[in-house]
């Protein structure tokens, strides 16, 4: 009997584990699906609308609401994940009446719109998008349509959106409103909300749309002066005709405003990528990445994992370098103050932008279409801005495959007038010699004047002095599956990868690479998987190496061995998964480092 009890207990544990994994994956899939399809390119007729977005390239996102008052600490328990979902069943699962009653204690007396607009200005941001109503249904402005708002339901009694609109105008910033048009967890008929009215009538989404959503979109597009963007989110299954009507309301009341990509049905003006996703390859059309200064959109008391100024600049330059806009979020506390370390890191990054505004504003995508081992590039006409995030040893900056002639290269920011830098081209590579002493300590910047707009050979160059990471995303794949994968670290904290997995016998991921410096290179692979795996790395017509390494469920870098590129030139390198759990072995990147 004991054995039966043990087996049954094991089965129960297994079942719970499977359910937990499934639930987590289901949540992620549900959240991902709710983002809806995305429009790919701005419609030509609307192009004049996109100026602030197109040229600004950098904006402030603000998640501030009744949930900020909770800050992820509810009834003595801390919940880990995005703070604006604290009410939701996936976080603290707070009953509607209990949640609504919290409004009586929400009194953000320290809210200072001028200070927030000043911070955005100091950060180098060109507009602000703030949550006017999030999924919880609480309006952060004085809504005449529904009393569950910051003026009628709290002791605060002020309209912070009015104050922010005034402050944005004072500092010359655009103002946009986030509005959750589909989800409303506290209004009858709202997406993922209650189905019954307070007097017990069962209602549908139409009831919510007509009695709250549509009139509130009218309010936020008429009561606060010129609006730069209406940022709809998680369209989920909202009927298409409702989105069409909401877009028309925006067009009618705010003809110069953009509608975010997450309006749904491709009816937005541009594409919004997945949360916290900085793309590795250029993206066509008008698009934005939305990211946050730590790991939560709304204030979460424990979340002090702030992005450093260099990390902010790296993600900003890489977004602009891929052709897009970077909207970076802060989550003010329940008392209205901005976390001091969020403000500090934004201001430090803003000081660099103030020194080199030409790198971020009105610039275009890198001709390499991806980052380079030492950093990333933005372009304006025939000028390249090389932002150096990894300083090469002996100061040799390599540009692979640049086909356009270089007129001059100059290091910006050095106190004394910096002489032109020495530039050499060999075998299709351009080498720029940096000086030993560089005064710009945050992100050194080289301005390169070309003879014409840049043309680049798309072949991946293996850098002679820095580790070159070549992503699986750029591989030609046979006998395996190449696909993007999103997952949530903490709830709502999204990570993204394009991986090659589900290897069949003989399956391989291949890249054509260009080698300037012949010799031995150490090869590492970044992958996740189950158990020990044997990987093979092969140079067509050249050396083959293989090795067995362990694996982890996280993407981790493992050494494979040294490989020889006997002379400068083009090579085809391929990776194969030879033994172990081929289905789960998930390759993210191959790395080459010259061996002195």
Q: Which is nearer to ligand GLC, 297 or 571 (CB)?
A: 297
CB-CB contact of 589 with 471 (8 Å): yes
Closest by CA to 446, choosing from 509, 388, 488, is 388
Give the shortest CB-328-to-ligand GLC separation in angstroms. 11
Q: Quote the CA–CA distance of 302 and 325 in Å, as a whole number.
A: 29
Q: Quote the CA–CA distance of 148 and 100 in Å, as a whole number.
A: 8
Q: Quote the CA–CA distance of 531 and 585 in Å, as a whole number.
A: 9
The Cα-based distances of 54 to 46, 280, 518 in angstroms read 12, 20, 42
Q: Which is nearer to ligand GLC, 233 or 463 (CB)?
A: 233
Give the shortest CB-380-to-ligand GLC separation in angstroms. 29
Closest by CA to 333, choosing from 64, 580, 24, is 64
- Site for ligand GLC (CB under 6 A): which residue of 151, 290, 533, 585? 290
CB atoms within 10 A of CB 506: 10
Q: Which is nearer to ligand GLC, 319 or 386 (CB)?
A: 319
Q: Which stretch binds ligand GLC (CB under 6 A): 78-86, 316-324, 331-339, 358-366?
A: 78-86
**DSSP-based three-state secondary structure for 318:** helix
Q: Which is nearer to ligand GLC, 290 or 448 (CB)?
A: 290
Q: Which stretch binds ligand GLC (CB under 6 A): 66-74, 81-89, 420-428, 541-549?
A: 81-89
Q: Which is nearer to ligand GLC, 297 or 521 (CB)?
A: 297
Return the residues of window 297-336 that contact ligand GLC according to CB under 6 A.
Answer: 297
Backbone angles phi, psi at 562, to 5 degrees: -95, 145
- Site for ligand GLC (CB under 6 A): which residue of 57, 234, 363, 526? 234
Give the shortest CB-85-to-ligand GLC separation in angstroms. 6
Residue with tokens 């877009």: 247
- Site for ligand GLC (CB under 6 A): which residue of 112, 159, 233, 303? 233
Give the shortest CB-502-to-ligand GLC separation in angstroms. 29
Q: Which is nearer to ligand GLC, 92 or 448 (CB)?
A: 92
Closest by CA to 504, choosing from 522, 482, 520, is 482
CB-CB contact of 550 with 532 (8 Å): yes
Q: Which stretch binds ligand GLC (CB under 6 A): 80-88, 147-155, 241-249, 424-432?
A: 80-88
Q: Quote the CA–CA distance of 526 and 291 in Å, as a whole number.
A: 24
Q: Which stretch binds ligand GLC (CB under 6 A): 77-85, 122-130, 145-153, 218-226?
A: 77-85
Q: Quote the CA–CA distance of 491 and 81 in Å, as a whole number.
A: 4
CB atoms within 10 A of CB 22: 11
Return the residues of window 82-101 that contact ligand GLC according to CB under 6 A.
Answer: 82, 84-85
Give the shortest CB-297-to-ligand GLC separation in angstroms. 5
Closest by CA to 460, choosing from 514, 498, 517, 510, is 514
Q: Which is nearer to ligand GLC, 219 or 275 (CB)?
A: 275
Q: Contact between 275 and ligand GLC (CB under 6 A)? A: yes
Q: Contact between 123 and ligand GLC (CB under 6 A)? A: no
Give the shortest CB-492-to-ligand GLC separation in angstroms. 6
Binding site for ligand GLC (CB under 6 A): 63, 82, 84-85, 233-234, 275, 290, 297
């Amino acid at each position: 009997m004991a054995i039966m009890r043990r087996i049954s207990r094991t089965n129960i544990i297994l079942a719970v584990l499977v359910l937990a994994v499934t639930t987590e994956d289901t949540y992620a899939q549900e959240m991902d699906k709710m983002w809806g399809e995305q429009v790919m390119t701005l419609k030509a007729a609307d192009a004049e609308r996109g100026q602030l977005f197109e040229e600004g390239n950098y904006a402030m996102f603000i998640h501030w609401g009744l949930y900020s008052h909770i800050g992820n600490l509810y009834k003595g328990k801390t919940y880990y994940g995005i703070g604006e979902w604290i009410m939701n069943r996936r976080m603290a699962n707070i009953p509607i009446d209990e949640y609504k009653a919290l409004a009586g204690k929400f009194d953000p007396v320290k809210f200072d719109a001028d200070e927030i607009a000043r911070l955005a200005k100091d950060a180098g941001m060109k507009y602000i998008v703030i949550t006017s109503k999030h999924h919880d249904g609480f309006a952060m402005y004085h809504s005449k349509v529904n009393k569950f708002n910051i003026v009628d339901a709290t002791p605060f009694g002020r309209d912070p959106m009015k104050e922010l609109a005034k402050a944005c105008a004072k500092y010359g910033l655009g103002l946009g409103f986030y509005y959750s048009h589909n989800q409303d967890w506290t209004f009858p008929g709202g997406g993922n909300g209650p189905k019954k009215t307070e007097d017990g009538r069962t209602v549908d989404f139409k009831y919510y749309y007509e009695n709250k959503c549509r009139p509130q979109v009218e309010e936020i597009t008429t009561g606060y002066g010129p609006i730069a963007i209406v940022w709809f989110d998680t369209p989920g299954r909202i009927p298409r005709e409702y989105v069409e009507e909401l877009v028309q309301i925006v067009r009618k009341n705010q003809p110069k405003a953009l509608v975010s990509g997450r309006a749904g049905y491709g009816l937005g003006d541009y594409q919004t990528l997945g949360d916290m996703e900085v793309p590795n390859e250029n993206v066509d059309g008008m698009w934005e990445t939305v990211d946050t200064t730590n790991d939560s959109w709304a204030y979460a008391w424990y979340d002090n994992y702030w992005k450093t100024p260099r990390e902010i600049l790296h993600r900003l330059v890489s977004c602009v370098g891929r052709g897009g806009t970077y909207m970076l979020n802060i989550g003010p506390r329940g008392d209205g103050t901005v976390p001091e370390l969020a403000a500090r890191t934004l201001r430090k990054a803003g000081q660099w932008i103030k020194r080199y505004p030409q790198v971020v504003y009105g610039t275009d995508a890198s001709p390499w279409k991806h980052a380079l081992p030492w950093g990333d590039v933005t372009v304006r006409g025939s000028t390249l801005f090389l932002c150096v995030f990894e300083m090469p040893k002996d100061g040799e900056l390599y540009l692979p495959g640049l086909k356009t002639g270089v007129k001059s290269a100059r290091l910006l920011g050095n106190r004394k007038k910096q002489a032109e830098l020495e530039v050499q081209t060999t075998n299709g590579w351009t080498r720029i010699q940096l000086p030993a002493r560089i005064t710009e300590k945050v992100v050194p910047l080289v301005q390169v004047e070309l003879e014409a707009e840049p043309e680049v050979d798309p072949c991946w160059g293996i850098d002679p002095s820095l580790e070159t990471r070549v992503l699986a995303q750029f591989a030609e794949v046979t006998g395996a599956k190449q696909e993007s994968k999103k997952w949530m670290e903490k709830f709502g904290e999204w990570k993204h990868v394009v991986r090659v997995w589900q290897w069949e016998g003989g399956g391989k991921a291949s890249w054509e690479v260009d080698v300037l410096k012949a010799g031995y290179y150490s090869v590492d692979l970044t992958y996740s998987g189950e158990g020990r795996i044997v990987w093979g790395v092969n140079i067509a017509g050249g050396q083959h190496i293989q090795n067995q390494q362990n694996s982890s469920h996280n993407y981790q870098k493992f050494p494979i061995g040294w490989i020889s590129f006997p002379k400068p030139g083009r090579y085809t390198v391929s990776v194969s998964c030879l033994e172990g759990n081929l289905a789960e072995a998930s390759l993210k990147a191959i790395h080459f480092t010259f061996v002195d």
